[in-house]
C-alpha cells in the first residue's frame, strides 16, 4: 500500500519527544533543537480550541507524528469511523509523518476501558486484527504503525509467540511496527518475555519508530507509568536494537508527573548520543602511512 507518511521510514527523523501541554509555550518560544514531536492525537482531535491550535503551531515549526489510543484495533466492536474521520482530518492538518495506535483492544460493547488491553496471540485474533487494520488503512488511505503493548497478564490459550504475532500482523495487513522497547522490558519483568529473542526476531523492515519511556517499580511487578527517566536496562536493549537497525526514529514518552522540559530534552539527547556513538563505531578507520 502506498503511504503518504512514508518519509518517517527514512532517516529524516532522528530523536523526538511526546508533546505535552505544560511544555508547549516554552517550545514555541525557544524552538529547542529536536528532530520532531509526537502528538497524542486524542488530545488534539477536536476541531477548534486551544489544544488543536497548539498542534497546528508545533507542526508549523517541527515535523510531527500522531499517536492514537482510540482505534481499539483488536476489539469486536464495529470500527469507529467517526473517530477515524477526525483522526484523518488532524493528520492532514498537521501533515503527520506517521500515524500509529496500539495492538490491543480498549472497547467492549461500546464501553471504553480507557486502558490498552492485551490480545490473546491466536490464529483467530490474528485474522481478526489483520482484517480490521486493512479496513482502517483503506479508510485512512495510508499505512499505520501498530505498537506492542505492555501487559500484566498473558492468556493460557495463546498459541503464537508475541513477536511472531506482531510480525504476522504487520506482514499480512501490510502495516508498519512502532516498537516500544520499554514495553518489551516491562513484559519481560511481568510475564517473562524473552527480550533478546524478541529483539533478534522482530521484522526490522517494518519497524518505523521506537518508543522509550520510564516505568514504576511496584515490587511485585513494574507499571508502565511513563513517569520517570528511561531505565538503564531499557537503554541497553535500545542500543542492542540499534545495532540491527539504526535509521529509525526514536521517541521519548513521558505522560505522568511531567517534569521540566529540560529533563525530557536530556533523555532525548541521551538517545542521540547512543545513536551517534554507534554511527562513529561504523566509520572505517584508515591507517596513515
Ligand atoms: Fe509507547
CATH architecture of 6-282: Alpha-Beta Barrel (3.20)
Å from CA of 102 to ligand 1 middle: 8
Instruction: Say if CB 40 and CB 18 are below 8 A apart.
Output: yes
Q: What pLDDT was estimated at residue 3?
A: 45
Could you read off the pLDDT tens digit of each residue along the chain, which spans 289 residues? 444 444 443 445 799 999 999 999 999 999 999 999 999 999 999 999 999 999 999 999 999 999 999 999 999 999 999 999 999 999 999 999 999 999 999 988 888 888 899 999 999 999 999 999 999 999 999 999 999 999 999 999 999 999 999 999 999 999 999 999 999 999 999 999 999 999 999 999 999 999 999 999 999 999 999 999 999 999 999 999 999 999 999 999 999 999 999 999 999 999 999 999 999 998 776 666 5
Q: What pLDDT was estimated at residue 113?
A: 86
Å from CA of 286 to ligand 1 middle: 41
How do strand 176-180 and strand 36-40 relate by DSSP bridges?
Answer: unpaired
Å from CA of 178 to ligand 1 middle: 8
The DSSP bridge partners found for residue 209 are 178
Q: What pLDDT was estimated at residue 4?
A: 40
Å from CA of 253 to ligand 1 middle: 7
Å from CA of 274 to ligand 1 middle: 19
CA distance 178 to 27: 25
Å from CA of 70 to ligand 1 middle: 14
Å from CA of 224 to ligand 1 middle: 9
Q: What pLDDT was estimated at residue 54?
A: 95
Å from CA of 211 to ligand 1 middle: 5
Å from CA of 193 to ligand 1 middle: 17
Q: What pLDDT was estimated at residue 5?
A: 45
CA distance 106 to 72: 5
Å from CA of 237 to ligand 1 middle: 15
pTM exceeds 0.85, yes or no: yes
Å from CA of 287 to ligand 1 middle: 44
Å from CA of 116 to ligand 1 middle: 11
Instruction: Say if CB 26 and CB 263 are below 8 A apart.
Output: no
Q: What pLDDT was estimated at residue 289?
A: 56
Radius of gyration for the chain, computed over Cα atoms and rounded to the nearest angstrom: 19
Å from CA of 80 to ligand 1 middle: 22
Å from CA of 223 to ligand 1 middle: 13
Neighbours of ion ligand 1 (CB under 5 A): 180, 211
Amino acid at each position: 500500500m502506498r503511504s503518504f507518511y512514508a518519509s518517517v521510514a527514512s532517516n529524516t527523523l532522528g530523536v523526538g519527544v511526546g508533546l505535552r501541554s505544560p511544555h508547549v509555550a516554552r517550545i514555541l518560544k525557544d524552538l529547542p533543537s529536536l528532530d520532531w514531536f509526537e502528538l497524542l492525537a486524542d488530545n488534539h482531535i477536536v476541531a477548534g480550541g486551544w489544544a488543536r491550535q497548539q498542534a497546528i503551531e508545533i507542526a508549523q515549526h517541527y515535523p510531527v507524528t500522531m499517536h492514537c489510543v482510540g482505534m481499539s484495533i483488536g476489539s469486536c466492536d464495529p470500527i469507529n469511523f467517526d473517530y477515524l474521520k477526525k483522526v484523518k482530518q488532524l493528520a492532514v492538518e498537521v501533515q503527520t509523518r506517521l500515524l500509529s495506535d496500539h495492538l490491543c483492544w480498549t472497547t467492549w460493547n461500546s464501553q471504553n476501558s480507557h486502558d490498552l488491553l492485551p490480545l490473546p496471540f491466536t490464529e483467530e485474533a490474528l485474522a481478526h486484527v489483520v482484517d480490521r487494520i486493512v479496513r482502517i488503512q483503506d479508510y485512512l488511505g495510508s499505512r499505520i504503525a501498530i505498537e506492542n503493548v505492555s501487559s500484566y497478564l498473558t492468556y493460557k490459550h495463546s498459541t503464537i509467540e508475541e513477536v511472531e504475532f506482531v510480525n504476522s500482523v504487520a506482514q499480512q495487513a501490510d502495516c508498519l511496527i512502532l516498537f516500544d522497547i520499554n514495553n518489551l522490558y516491562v513484559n519481560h519483568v511481568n510475564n517473562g518475555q524473552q527480550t533478546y529473542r524478541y529483539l533478534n526476531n522482530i521484522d526490522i523492515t517494518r519497524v518505523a519508530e521506537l518508543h522509550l519511556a520510564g516505568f514504576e517499580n511496584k515490587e511485585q511487578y513494574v507499571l508502565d507509568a511513563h513517569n520517570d527517566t528511561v531505565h538503564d536496562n531499557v537503554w541497553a536493549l535500545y542500543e542492542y536494537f540499534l545495532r540491527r537497525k539504526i535509521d529509525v526514529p526514536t521517541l521519548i514518552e513521558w505522560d505522568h508527573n511531567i517534569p521540566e522540559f529540560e529533563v525530557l530534552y536530556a533523555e532525548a539527547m541521551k538517545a542521540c548520543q547512543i545513536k551517534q556513538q554507534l554511527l562513529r563505531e561504523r566509520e572505517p578507520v584508515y591507517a596513515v602511512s
